[in-house]
Amino acid sequence: MSDATTWRAWLLTDAPTSRRHARLASFYKGWLSLRGNTMAMVGLGILVGLLLMALFAPYLAPHDWKAQDLGNRLQPLGSPGHVLGTDSLGRDILSRLIYGSRITLYIVTLVALIAPVAGLLVGTIAGYVGGWADVVLMRITDIFLAFPRLVLALAFVAALGAGIENAVLAISLTAWPPYARMARAETLTIRASDYISAIRLQGAGPIRIITRHIWPLCISSLIVRVTLDMAGIILAAAGLGFLGLGAQPPSPEWGAMISEGRRFILDHWWVATVPGLAIFTVSLAFNLLGDGLRDVLDPKDGGIE
Amino acid sequence: MIDIQNLDVWFGDGHDRVDAVRRATFAVNAGESFGLVGESGSGKSTILRAITGLAPTWSGRIEIDGQILHGKSRDRTFYKNVQMVFQDPYASLHPRHSVDQVLGETLSLHGFRDIDTRVVKLLDDVGLGTRFRFRYPHQLSGGQRQRVAIARALAGEPDILLLDEPTSALDVSVQAEILNLLCDIRDQRKLTYLMVSHDLPVVGHMCTRLAVMKDGEIVEVMDVAQLRQMKASHPYSQSLLDASVAQ
């Protein structure tokens, strides 16, 4: 009997001995079911790679990301010293891509922390409390939904000042309404169920019911939606950057790199294509992982039996 | 223990108003098991929901253990005193909460400190071993889920249990187990039961008296001896009796 097999048996027992044991066991079973999903593991692998790339950017980048070399501009793919070529100012595209992963992660993390949480709060409160709270909160949501997203973000950035932080804030402020709508719809179906009646009969208040009983059931569909929105969020940040209101040059933000490369797209296609491929890969990874996570988090499937 | 007079429960307003219960009057003594019988849609479950504050609009007088209830709000002593077991065990347990979480949260809401020992004891009382403590609802059968729901109802040590067709979603052999469990618990804990059912044999087995409901009204209150002798005074209850024997 090796150590590993006893650990495995301990984790896979169907009669856990303590609360901590039960939590570890269900976590391990969730991990096993995620691991069984090949596409989700591909997505997770790409994202872990992105994380490591951002973490070790100074060691991985072959050149300084802001060093210009005008004599060496617009070099094609595979040219000596510049595997992915150089851009219009002769900067190494690979190095900029590696440093840009930090900005991408920063945007994605901040938006993923702000927008779904705000949407969840508004949606579940509106759905559970009902009445006037529902009417007021949902009309505010409608107003936000009625604005063109980029225009509203532009207005926010104009008010708050240009920069990547404000762009993230503006995107979050325009991204929460769909989450609120979803959370409200789910809450309405959950609210009338017997298990909510049952916990109310135990004397639980609305705050406990919303946070402990309704949120856990809304989160799995929100996670899927967030991962599906990630591509759009990265692109919205890029769009703001293109308009001069998001990432400021010489920042190696991927979207800004695309808009810089746009001018040369016919003669020097790689300048715009390489960061485009990076955005594509990361978005795809988020989608794959999101789909896999949904399968693990959905209680109705029951995980592995 | 439970005294209900002239209870009206309705849904909607104006033209949409549906009277679910009309002028219902009955009383349940302490330690007694009282059955509410009728076809589906006759308003029997609605009476339970009015008592627990889950029905939106009602009028009349509901008195529980000397305490007169108002509107939809109920206080802590009510929740401590009165608990309910729901009809469908597949819908009455939170799908993401393990048995331990369900019972532990209930116990902490009732202000108990020794939660670990009490969870184990509750599982024992309803005939589930500690093996089931960290299971999720989807890992349990219908009968096991209903046992968990009964354990949850017992957690606050209530005096009154409202049973909303507790066995109708289960198959026959499991029904008998759950009914026996409910009988044992009643005898051990000296509980008062108010039980809703459309199944006359079940009510005959569990209850001492029963009320027959039709279209939201109580047409007759009789005791189980009358039920067993098939002597109902109201023609509708007689037809119910005849129908249940004919099956």
pLDDT tens across A138-175, in order?
Answer: 999 999 888 887 788 888 888 888 788 888 888 888 88
Q: Does domain B2-246 have CATH number 1.10.10.10?
A: no
Instruction: Encode B55-84: b = buried (16+ Cβ within 10 Å), e = exposed.
Output: beebebebebeeeebeeeebeeebbbbbbb
- Structure ipTM: 0.87
C-alpha to C-alpha distance for B48 and B40, rounded to whole angstroms? 14
Tens digit of each residue's pLDDT (9 = 90 or more) over B64-120: 988 888 888 888 889 989 999 998 888 899 988 889 999 999 999 999 999 999 999
Average pLDDT over residues B188-198: 92
Q: B7: burial class by Cβ within 10 Å (0-12, 13-18, 19+)? A: buried
Would you say residue B228 has pLDDT above 90?
Answer: no
Closest CA–CA distance from residue A191 to any residue of chain B (Å): 12
Residues 262-301 of A with CB under 8 A from B: 299-300
Search chain A and give the residue with CA nearest B131. A15
* Token code pair at residue A188: 């309405």
What pLDDT shows up at residue A305? 34
Q: Is the model more confident about B188 or about B71?
A: B188
Q: What is the pLDDT of residue A126?
A: 94
For B129-154, the pLDDT digits (tens) are 888 888 888 889 999 999 999 999 99
Among A103, A55, A52, A121, smallest CA distance to A233 is for A103
What 3-state DSSP class applies to B74? coil
Beta carbons of A11 and A26 less than 8 angstroms apart: no
Distance from CA of B140 to the nearest CA of A (A): 11
CB A108 within 8 A of CB A100: no
| Per-residue pLDDT band at A303 (split at 50, 70, 90) | very low
Confidence (pLDDT) at B236? 86
**Residue A183 confidence (pLDDT):** 94
Mean pLDDT of A93-105: 90
Q: Which amino acid is at B135?
A: R
pLDDT at position B247 is: 60
Report the SS3 class of residue B111.
coil
Share of chain A above pLDDT 70, in %: 96
Does CATH number 1.10.3720.10 belong to domain A37-68+81-297? yes
Q: What pLDDT was estimated at residue B120? A: 92
Interface check for B23 against chain A (CB to CB < 8 A): the answer is: no
State the DSSP H helix or E strand holding residue B222, giving kind and residue range, or none if neither: strand B217-223
Give the pLDDT band (50/70/90) at residue A125. very high
- Listing DSSP states for A106-168 in one string gives HHHHHHHHHHHHHHHHHHHHHHHH-HHHHHHHHHHHHHHHHS-HHHHHHHHHHHH-SSHHHHH
Q: Is the Cβ pair B83, A201 closer than 8 Å?
A: yes
First-to-last C-alpha distance (Å) of chain A: 25
Could you say which of B82, B94, B98 has the minimum Cβ distance to residue A195? B94
Higher model confidence: residue A293 or residue B8? B8
Q: Say if residue A54's pLDDT is above 60.
A: yes
pLDDT band at A302 (very low <50, low <70, confident <90, very high): very low
Asked if omega into A250 is within 30° of 0 (cis), the reply is yes
Confidence of residue A2 (pLDDT cuts 50, 70, 90): low
**pLDDT of amino acid B71:** 83
Average pLDDT value for residue range B173-196: 92
To the nearest whole Å, the CA of B176 is away from the closest chain A CA by 23
**For chain B, what percent of residues have pLDDT higher than 90?**
45
In this complex, the residue of A25, A195, A216 whose CB is nearest that of residue B92 is A195
Across the range A7-26, mean pLDDT stands at 79
- Kindly write down the DSSP assignment for every residue of B79-104, as one continuous string: HHHEEEE-S-TTTSS-TTS-HHHHHH
Q: Quote the minimal CA–CA distance from A169 to chain B in Å.
A: 33
pLDDT of residue A304: 37
What average pLDDT does chain B have? 89
According to the model, what pLDDT value does residue B50 have? 92
pLDDT score of A50:
93
- Which of B48, B96, B136, B145 to mutate against chain A (most A CBs within 10 Å)? B96
N-term to C-term CA, chain B: 35
Interface of A with B in 19-78 (CB under 8 A): 19, 21-22, 25-26
**In the structure, what pLDDT confidence band is assigned to residue A298 with cuts at 50, 70 and 90?**
low
The per-residue pLDDT for A299 is 55
What mean pLDDT do residues B159-175 have?
A: 89
User: Is B98 at the interface with chain A, CB within 8 A?
Assistant: yes
B138 at A interface, C-beta within 8 A: yes
* pLDDT of A245 over the 80 cut: no
